[in-house]
Amino acid sequence: MNETSSNIQNACVADHLATMGQVAPALAHDVNSLSGIALTSATVLAGDLDDMRALLGEGKLTRAALDAFIDRAGRSNAIVIANLRRVAELVASFRHIVEGRRDERDESLSLRPFLEEVVRSAHPILRSLPHHLEIECPEFLSLTTKQGVLARVLVNLLINTARHAGDVRPLTLRLSAAPTSDGGVEIGYGDDGQGIPPEILSRVFEPYFTTRQGDGGSGLGLPIVKHLVESSLGGSLTLDSAPDRGVQVTIRLPSRSDQS
């Protein structure tokens, strides 16, 4: 193993921790906000229930009061359920990132709900940006691969967008998946932004090359993504771009990651 390859593998471990470090604080904020709303609604419901017990104990419970309580209880309960369900979705989506290192087994997955979970896991990072993200994937499409690694690849691409396209006009981001003629899957991720100049495009997979030196850029983001796709998922990754024509990343994966 040459030194560059070894450095990239070591950087994969550090990058995995960094990815969790970027997503976790924003995720914690969302979970805290949602659970706070649920707790407030549950507290209001508990107070209404105490009032109903008091009226019942005093023999003053009327049909109108009971109907009003049932209506308020239904609305409070719906708020609690909706917010706790959202918390569960956020935690489940974050699990894919956490398992990017420890879960190296192939698992069968339904791609559309998987892509939706990946987008949810990156939402805490993307929510402050004005971009619109579209998912295009047939409902029937499935794939057997390392779910945690694939999730990490896609989250890193989304984070890369947040890092490099945060100061431009609102973009349309597209995450797509389609079957290939050999039984595999092609996953696309792209935007309609300003694109990458040719002199930079030729170096995007070069380790330690960055246009954001001194601004948090390590120059390892895309090399790590490419390394994960090729070495862990058994696939290939290409990136096409031109000035004012956006960026398109194409990931081709076999039907199983051990069939490369």
What's the topology of domain 3-32+89-259?
Answer: Heat Shock Protein 90 (3.30.565)
Q: What is the pTM of this model?
A: 0.62
Residue 176 backbone phi and psi in degrees, to 5: -135, 160
Could you tell me if 223 and 157 are in contact, meaning their C-beta atoms sit under 8 angstroms apart?
Answer: no
Rounded to a whole number of angstroms, the distance between the first and last alpha carbons of the chain is 19
pLDDT in tens, the chain (260 residues): 455 455 445 544 455 555 555 556 656 766 777 788 888 889 989 999 999 999 999 999 899 999 999 998 998 888 888 878 777 766 765 665 555 444 467 888 899 999 988 887 777 667 667 778 899 999 999 999 988 788 888 888 887 777 665 556 778 889 999 999 998 999 999 988 888 888 888 777 776 556 655 454 445 567 778 888 988 899 999 999 888 788 899 999 998 766 65
Domain spans in the chain, listed from the N-terminal domain onward: 3-32+89-259
